[in-house]
Amino acid sequence: MNLWKQCMCYCRRHSPWIFHMNSGSCNGCDIELVAALTPRYDAEQLGVLLQGSPRHADILCITGPVTHTSAPAIHTVYEQVCGPKAVVAIGSCPASTNVFIDSRVLVGPLNRHVPVDVFVPGCPPRPDAIIEGIALAASILARREANPVLGDASQTEVHP
Amino acid sequence: MNLAIAMARLLLFPGLLFAVPAAWFFLWVERKSVALMQQRIGPPFPQPMFDFVKLLGKSTPPRRGIDGFLMRMWPLISVSASATAAGLLPVLPARGGFEGDLIFLIALLEIPAICIIAAGFSSRSMFGEIGSAREAVLTVAYNVVFLLAILSIAASQHTFRLEALAQLPVTPLRYIGLLAILICLPAKLHINPFSLPNAEQEIYSGPMTEYAGAELAMWQLSHGMEWVASCGLVATLAIPQFSHWAVNVLAFGVLSLVLVLLLSVLAAATARLAIDTTVRFYWKCTLVFACLILIAFVSSSFMQEVRS
Amino acid sequence: MNIFAMLAKNLRLGIQTIRFPARPPVTAAFRGLVRFDPALCSGCAMCRFRCTARAITFTAGKSTFTWSYDPGQCTFCGRCVEGCKDHALSQDSACPPVYLTIGTLKKAYTLQRKPPAEKAAAPPDPSHVSPPGAS
């Protein structure tokens, strides 16, 4: 059993499939995320694949300060991702709403809606920083159970 | 003893024990060669195996009633069909065992496509339905050319038996049939330019939108084994038989690998075509191949009459 | 160029990827993390006024003040650097690091207010013309 668990952890760390979601972003971070998949930065060297369906993905990459119309969509898609899952907040908008701090249509930082594991700061973050964030999320994900109790993001071990 | 050899063919070589690592190897070759042609590193060698094991460890959403049962059944049927198709390949025809039939093999190769169509509709997702409708139109379009290919290969030696076909020398009529199968392969394997049912590349997302976890792992495995069975079919029917069995196996492996590389070059070089362009292309192919096969058949029987 | 010729050229030119975890070099004009030199700061709070994202906070006390900067809130526009008359702020080429909890990157400094500099003796005013002969 221990050998199988170790094998599963290793495979989960080396095969992080991502699903990208935009919660009202200016698209700067989305462009840098797509640039991370281009030949110069090549996220596929770590096994990262951009998936078309949230059910296929392990890591949910969310950009943008959360607008109040996109908040229900964030909840729905987070529920649709199958466990074990991790959330990466890309850019400084999901962490702190950045320059939009006084806006009336925002519903606050992302961790009010979903448990966020890794924050990648920057406006926009460089593609190599995004890949580093995804790699860190993959190693956090590797130790998770398939059906975790919600909100246990702080209880998992972290080995950066 | 016949049963033992048959089970060995279905389970060991070229059956399950060979087909699963070969499927992962071919999937890796396709991804890595496309990456090298795009000047990037691409995935490491064990990547398809990592994907498979990781998917086995993911949870699946709860599915109730007949829908859940159907949704779980389709990937299993697809994997068994493509694994059996890989097991029936006449790599070593002189050893006997299971007597395979060309029509049976082609039918087994069709079952994964039918499973994909059914899976998209049974998942009750609108993306699945659109993807399945596209896959259905694509299947109808290229299957006419496939049928012509079977007819020409069978007509070349007046037999449908795979072992006999693999051992008899190759005639021009069989080459035309193999060329027709090669033209259908990009559509069958869902690679560019005929990768219509996919929203994204390697794992489909049109009909597969609602699948997750172990079911998705089975779809990936069946996709890989379709590569093995399809490229293996063309390889075994194209090469002549050598005296030593090891040379046969080596030639089968090398030619399958060459086919995988050629298909990857095609996938890297082209973009996805729309459904009407694809269907029109295959109808034109039908016309061209029908004329070619008719001419070759008539001229070969005329030559036989003149000789005798 | 023919697509197959392009693919052959790509194969010949080889891999152009930057292997993880190496980072590519940045240009000279890259606006990265804001660096603060406490020795030069005079507590005018102009940077807090100019900051677009409220990444800089300033709390004034009797004889001390607290200045803090959160790279997780910053948008790296450079307005604070432009507005600092003491040149205590500068932007260098470092990118902010990846972190796990909000607020980890925030750094606060509590500084003593500097005593005002001694006013030098006023230079003679050239507009006054002393009458000749007066002393």
Contact A158 C76 (CB under 8 A): no
Q: Which residues pair with A22 in a beta bridge?
A: A63
φ, ψ at C111 (rounded to 5°): -125, 150
CATH number of the domain located at residue range(s) C33-112 in this protein: 3.30.70.3270
Closest chain A C-alpha to B96 CA, distance in angstroms: 39
- State the Cα torsion A129-A131-A136-A137 to the nearest 10°: 120
Residues C29-50, mean pLDDT to the nearest whole number: 89
Q: Is the pLDDT of residue B24 over 90?
A: yes
**Which tokens in the block code for residue B132?**
């399945």
The percent of residues in chain C predicted with pLDDT above 90, rounded, is 21
Contacts of C3 in chain B (CB under 8 A): 269-270
Q: Is the pLDDT of residue C13 over 80?
A: yes
Each residue of A78-103: pLDDT tens digit?
999 988 999 999 999 999 888 898 88
Q: Is the pLDDT of residue A120 over 90?
A: yes
Secondary structure in 3-state letters for B131-199: HHHHHHHHHHHHHHHHHHHHHHHHHHHCCCEHHHHHHCCCCHHHHHHHHHHHHHHHHHCCCCCCCCCCC
Choice between B154 and B223, residue whose per-residue pLDDT is larger: B223
Which of A42, A92, A132 comes nearest C74 by C-beta?
A: A92
- In C31-106 the beta strands, taken as DSSP E runs, fall at 34-36, 56-60, 64-69, 89-91
Q: Which residues of A touch C (CB under 8 A)?
A: 39-42, 45-46, 92, 95-96, 98-99, 101, 109, 111, 117-123, 125-126, 128-129, 131-133, 135-136, 158
Contact B40 C13 (CB under 8 A): no
Each residue of B38-91: pLDDT tens digit?
999 989 999 999 999 999 989 888 887 777 888 889 999 999 999 999 888 888
Each residue of B273-294: pLDDT tens digit?
888 888 999 999 899 988 888 8
Q: Which residues pair with B276 in a beta bridge?
A: none
B208 closest CA partner among B224, B226, B195, B220: B220
Residues B232-256, mean pLDDT to the nearest whole number: 86
A1 confidence band (pLDDT: 50, 70, 90):
low
**Chain A residue with minimum CA distance to C55:** A98
Choice between B94 and A126, residue whose per-residue pLDDT is larger: A126
Which of helix, strand or coil describes residue B104?
helix
Choice between B112 and B238, residue whose per-residue pLDDT is larger: B112
Task: Look at A73-77, B178-182, B218-222, C128-132 and tell me which has the smallest mean pLDDT.
Answer: C128-132
Task: Look at B22-36, B235-249, C27-41 and tell me which has the smallest mean pLDDT.
Answer: B235-249
A156 confidence band (pLDDT: 50, 70, 90):
very low
| pLDDT score for B245 | 80
Range C92-96, long-range pairs (CB < 8 A, 24+ positions)? C92/C32, C92/C33, C92/C35, C93/C26, C93/C30, C93/C32, C94/C32, C94/C33, C95/A122, C95/A125, C95/A126, C95/A129, C95/C23, C95/C32, C95/C33, C96/A121, C96/A122, C96/A125, C96/A129, C96/C32, C96/C33, C96/C71, C96/C72
Choice between B165 and C41, residue whose per-residue pLDDT is larger: C41
**Which tokens in the block code for residue B75?**
């990937």
Contact B36 C3 (CB under 8 A): no
Each residue of B84-135: pLDDT tens digit?
998 888 887 766 656 678 888 888 999 999 999 999 899 888 888 888 888 8
**Which tokens in the block code for residue A69?**
């119309």
Task: Look at B21-25, B65-69, C37-41 and tell me which has the smallest mean pLDDT.
Answer: B65-69
Quick check: B76 and A97 in contact, CB under 8 A?
no
Q: Is the pLDDT of residue C131 over 80?
A: no
* Structural domains counted in chain B: 1
**Chain C residue with minimum CA distance to A112:** C102
Which of helix, strand or coil describes residue C107?
strand
Q: Is the pLDDT of residue B27 over 60?
A: yes
Query: How many inter-chain contacts (A to C, CB under 8 Å) are there?
Result: 83
A149 confidence band (pLDDT: 50, 70, 90):
very low
A53 closest CA partner among B215, B27, B192: B215
**Chain B residue with minimum CA distance to A17:** B51
Q: Is the pLDDT of residue B199 over 80?
A: no
Each residue of C86-120: pLDDT tens digit?
899 988 888 888 999 888 888 888 888 877 666 65
Question: Subunits that touch chain C (at least 3 Cβ pairs < 8 angstroms)?
Answer: A, B
A120 closest CA partner among A97, A92, A157: A92
Residues 7 to 26 of C: which have CB under 8 A from any B CB? 7, 10-11, 13-17, 19
C128 confidence band (pLDDT: 50, 70, 90):
low
| pLDDT score for A23 | 92
Fold of the CATH domain A17-141: Rossmann fold (3.40.50)
Share the mean pLDDT of chain B: 86
Question: Does residue C2 sit at the B interface (CB-CB below 8 Å)?
Answer: no
Q: What angle do the packed helices B214-238 and B47-56 form, to 10 degrees?
A: 140
**Chain C residue with minimum CA distance to B269:** C3
Q: Write the DSSP assignment of B210-275 as a string of letters.
A: T--THHHHHHHHHHHHHHHHHHHHHHHHHSPPPSSHHHHHHHHHHHHHHHHHHHHHHHHH--PPPH
Q: Write the DSSP assignment of B26-53 as a string of letters.
A: HHHHHHHHHHHHTTS----TTHHHHHHH
| pLDDT score for B147 | 83
Q: Is the pLDDT of residue A159 over 50?
A: no
Residue B111 to residue B85: CA distance in whole angstroms: 10
Contacts of B44 in chain A (CB under 8 A): 14, 45, 47
A99 closest CA partner among C50, C98, C74: C74
- Amino acid code (one letter) for B226: E
| pLDDT score for A87 | 95
Strands lying side by side in the sheet with A49-50: A49-50, A17-22, A59-63, A86-90, A118-120
**Which tokens in the block code for residue C83?**
């507005």
Closest chain C C-alpha to B264 CA, distance in angstroms: 11
- Cα B212 → chain centroid: 23
Pairing of strands C64-69, C56-60: antiparallel
**Chain C residue with minimum CA distance to B35:** C15
Residues written for chain A: 160
Choice between A125 and B240, residue whose per-residue pLDDT is larger: A125
DSSP H or E stretch at residue A17? strand A17-22
Question: For residue B62, is it left (φ>0), alpha (ψ between -120 and 50) or beta?
Answer: beta
Which of C7, C15, C17 comes nearest B268 by C-beta?
A: C7
Closest chain A C-alpha to B99 CA, distance in angstroms: 39
Q: Is the bond preceding residue A84 a cis peptide, omega within 30 degrees?
A: yes
Radius of gyration from C-alpha coordinates of chain B: 20
How far CA B70 is from CA of A89, B114, C116, in Å, comes to 37, 13, 82
